[in-house]
Chains A and B, each alone.
Chain A
Amino acid sequence: MHATEALKEADRLMTVCNSCRYCEGLCAVFPAMEMRRAFSDGDLNYLANLCHSCGACYTDCQFSPPHEFNVNVPQTLAKVRNDSYKVYVWPRALAPLFERNGLAISLIAALSVGTFFFGLMAINDPAVMFGVQTGPGAFYRIMSHNAMAGVFGAAFFYAIAALIMGFRMFWRDIGETRETLTSGISVWQAMKDTMALRYLDGGGPGCFNEGERPNDRRRLYHHLTFYGFFLCLGATSTATLYHYLLGLEAPYPWYDLPVVLGTLGGIGLVIGPAGLMRAKFKRDPALRDENGRGMEMAFIVMLFLVSLTGLMLLVLRATPAMGTMLALHMGFVFGFFITMPYGKFVHGIYRFGALVRYAKERRALHEPTPSKAKALGIPGAKAGA
């Protein structure tokens, strides 16, 4: 019937929840559930990737453990979600990377950092590597611009290609079509929901990360991380345009656009992951998928180190430590790029897809919501106790 125990449990829970529906005002998962009466693996993977793990439905549920119905939606959907990443991975042969993800990512990161450091030491004169470099082109005396662009371009485009392939698998698995992605309204709605993290607020009071008392800290730190990441991406993109279009060579002065974007993004990408890490440690164990811990930690630490080394490179770029910092930063960035499709990064891709589908379903639902149906006396509506 179902591929895994987690999917089987998710099916059981969705059957329980569908006969209750008290949580329909909390997030997108429950209204999406209400549109179905039976749940295939694809349906469950869709619901799991729609879930933001805010924990409200667990705290609010009259049937959560120790009740014999043992309803724990956040934990079960976290398991299903984490398992789904393995199912969609491209190439399939790399699925085992998700097994012990924390270890795998750490090793790959360490390896790329080591490679960059010793590689650059090997090709450079120590006087260059550990000397003071200033003025336009200072970084490229350590590694030529073309080599840099070639190596990182390749890593980045490989990651993008693998992510697209993974997304195609996800899209096919949940039974979605290409048309849905071309619907501007659905995509725009999903973008708004993503940019605001609309469904991480437990329906209003906040995220129940630590148990009974909700707060909005997880959303704040995720915003810092998310927007920090895109600012950094913006910094790299503007620098690339400066280089090729304007013929301006890095390093740029601190007040120039690439540096301003990179600095702001870097700060967000240091504070954000640190806050998310703290939230992880404080998280109610009942809500967690223990097997996902390594993957989550690896991703957060990776983001943190990418931005920390970037900021240090900025601070130390006019000192003899520049070569070392550049090697470190490039190593982490390279490691981050090539592991993007094989770690927690993919959660954003699949969740965005799930939100697009949800936006489409909500619009297509011409019939009123269950509660409205009840108000209007329409058949099949739910009843209160």
Chain B
Amino acid sequence: MMRHYDVLVIGGGNAALCAAISARRSGASVLVLEAAPKFYRGGNTRHTRNMRCAHDTATEILTGPYTEAEFWDDLLRVTGGQTDEELARFMIHESKEILHWIVQQGVRWQPSLGGTLSLGRTNSFFLGGGRAMLNALYRTAEDLGVDVLYDAEVVDLDIQGGKFQSATVAYGGQRHQVHASSLVAAAGGFEANIAWLKQYWGDIAENFLIRGTPYNRGSVLKMLLDKGVQEIGDPTQCHAVAIDARAPKFDGGIITRLDCVVFGIVVNKNAERFYDEGEDIWPKRYAIWGRLVAAQPDQIAYIIFDGPSLELFMPSLYPPLKADSIGELADKLGLDPQALETTVATFNQAVRPGTFDHTILDDCRTEGLTPAKTHWAKRIGTAPFYAYPVRPGITFTYLGTRVNKEARMLMADGSPSANMFAAGEIMAGNVLGKGYAAGIGMTIGSVFGRIAGREAAKNARD
């Protein structure tokens, strides 16, 4: 382990493995240090399911073309322009090739089911999900002769004048020095580091649930920023959605999500509505409710709906709470029954007739109600009544290291590092200043991972 490597990769997810594989294929000796135990290897890649890549024509798995221009428009819209355009356009261009490169690394796309094209136009889905994808990358990396260590946490980095010298690793109860010619940092963000989140959010961060891996504590990111790497992205921001409040503190993954806000109303612990539940179509509404709930007392809210809506959305992991009356439902939720009855009655009176269609911005709305429900407003009047408790679920953070098109880190003074590269969530903020669109995280990881590995190998040779 302690021999000198050409390339040291810190992290073990999609970006790290793409970097390791591409560095190895470029002839470099590679060591991957994954801080998590083997089962939890791969950070949040375990919880992903698809990747967004540009392509000019329909394929066996994609129903139609998704041009670079359209991808750029989508990215511009979700980030509100908070993106490095040159880098983003470069990534989008590279994503075309990644669609095929990733298959050459053993990853399988989900074929269309039942012989019909069924997987959407923009995103390719991994057969068996993100962990299956990750397993394929590990098999390939091992076959190529990449060395991998689990439970190997990097606790210190020796960086002199923008040049990586060595890393200190806690492994097997001891500390080791690892020397390498190039470094690829692909160790994720800091969303699982509650203490760090509290710096920006205060004590309310204690009530956040972390959707992904408990191992993204941001220690590598912090070391790099402390040692002179330029930061990018808003440190105070994180991507949050409303998830089931009964979910585990960490690693609940995709299955704790709930998307039934549109079918009812959302109240806080005082049984008051606080935002327009009919404001926008999925997925935009999906991405705002985490932040909205974080701003409510005790960071908890309740989605209230009635019987006819129960089967209109994906089955949930935890069953909804159920009662024959609104008052009884309030009791079960620990809310003031009278307050909830008043809120529901007031809402029902404000609902105007319309034609309900939750796939479009329909004409079902309230009148004279604050806040209004501007679409999909239906009376909540048919027992049984249901509720899901929700809390903010943190997906990822935006703070990262600044990089250029070689995935090479830039130092605080703007100069490129001699031998340090970054890929994945640790540099996603370059492309994704805010917002999110499904599958972009994996695109960032694979594209910049592949480039970082190749460049790091080249760097080690020179």
Residues of A within 8 A of B (CB): 15-16, 18-20, 22-26, 31, 37, 56-57, 59-64, 66-68, 202-205, 212-213, 362, 368-369, 371-372, 374-375, 377-385
Contact = CB atoms under 8 A, between A and B. Distances in A.
Contacts of A20: 129, 253-255
Contact of B359 (A23, A60, A379, A383): A379
B343 interface: no
Contacts of B458: none
B438 interface: yes
A68 B119 CA distance: 30
B193 interface: no
A45 B358 CA distance: 36
Interface string B390-404: 000001000000000
A16 B359 contact: no
Interface in B295-326: 311-317
Contacts of B311: 37, 380
A205 B108 contact: yes
Given A25-B113, A64-B39, 17 more contacts: A15-B315, A18-B315, A20-B253, A22-B128, A22-B130, A22-B132, A22-B254, A25-B128, A31-B113, A60-B132, A62-B46, A62-B129, A203-B127, A204-B111, A205-B136, A379-B358, A385-B438
Contacts of B282: 383
Interface stretch (B26-34, B47-55, B154-162): B47-55
Nearest to B49: A384
Nearest to A64: B39
B174 to A, nearest CB: 25
Contacts of B316: 19
A23 B108 CA distance: 13
B120 A379 contact: no
Interface of B: 39, 46-50, 63, 108, 110-114, 116-121, 123, 125-132, 135-136, 138-139, 211, 248, 251, 253-255, 257, 259, 282-283, 286, 311-317, 358-359, 395, 438-439
A60 B132 CA distance: 4
A368 B110 contact: no
B253 A368 contact: no
A324 to B, nearest CB: 51
Contacts of A205: 108, 136
10 contacts: A20-B254, A61-B129, A362-B114, A368-B116, A371-B125, A372-B113, A379-B358, A383-B283, A383-B314, A385-B395
A62 B126 CA distance: 13
A16 B317 contact: yes
Contact of B120 (A24, A202, A374): A374
Contact of A68 (B116, B248, B255): B248
B441 to A, nearest CB: 8
Contacts of B118: 368-369, 371-372, 375
B12 to A, nearest CB: 14
Contacts of A375: 63, 118-121
Chain A interface helix/strand/loop/mixed: loop
Contact of A26 (B121, B128, B439): B128
Nearest to A17: B255
B317 A15 contact: yes
Most B Cβ at <10 Å: residue of A18, A371, A379: A371
Contact of A66 (B39, B120, B439): B39
A377 B63 CA distance: 13
Contacts of B49: 22, 384-385
A24 B132 CA distance: 13
Given A26-B127, A384-B125, A37 B46 contact: no
Contacts of A68: 248, 251
Nearest to A31: B113
A375 B64 CA distance: 11
A375 B124 CA distance: 11
A71 B170 CA distance: 31
A119 to B, nearest CB: 55
A26 B126 CA distance: 11
B139 A385 contact: no
Main secondary structure of the interface of B (DSSP, over half): loop
A185 B135 CA distance: 37
B315 A62 contact: no
Given A62-B129, A369-B118, A385 B315 contact: no
Contacts of B132: 22, 56, 59-60
A362 B114 CA distance: 8
A124 B412 CA distance: 100
Contacts of B315: 15, 18-19, 37
Contact of B255 (A16, A60, A203): A16
Top 7 A-B pairs ranked by shortest CB distance? A22-B129, A372-B118, A60-B128, A375-B120, A60-B132, A25-B110, A62-B46
A212 B142 CA distance: 12
B90 to A, nearest CB: 24
Given A19-B315, A369-B113, A371-B118, A385 B127 contact: no
Q: Which of A66, A205, A368 lies at the interface centre, i.e. has the most chain B CB atoms within 10 A of its CB?
A: A205
Contact of B39 (A18, A22, A67, A379): A67
A369 to B, nearest CB: 4
Nearest to A38: B315
A360 to B, nearest CB: 13
Contacts of B259: 383
Given A19-B315, A26-B128, A379-B358, A59 B47 contact: no
Which of B114, B255, B286 is most buried by chain A, counting CB atoms within 10 A of its CB? B255
A61 B119 CA distance: 20
Contacts of A37: 311, 315
A66 B317 CA distance: 19
Contacts of A23: 128-129
A304 B63 CA distance: 49
A237 B373 CA distance: 74
B128 A57 contact: yes
A67 B254 CA distance: 14
Nearest to A36: B315
Nearest to B132: A60
A150 B253 CA distance: 63
A385 B47 contact: yes
A37 B282 CA distance: 22
A341 to B, nearest CB: 35
B47 A371 contact: no
Nearest to A374: B120
Contacts of A374: 120
A67 B132 CA distance: 16
A362 B138 CA distance: 35
A202 B136 CA distance: 13
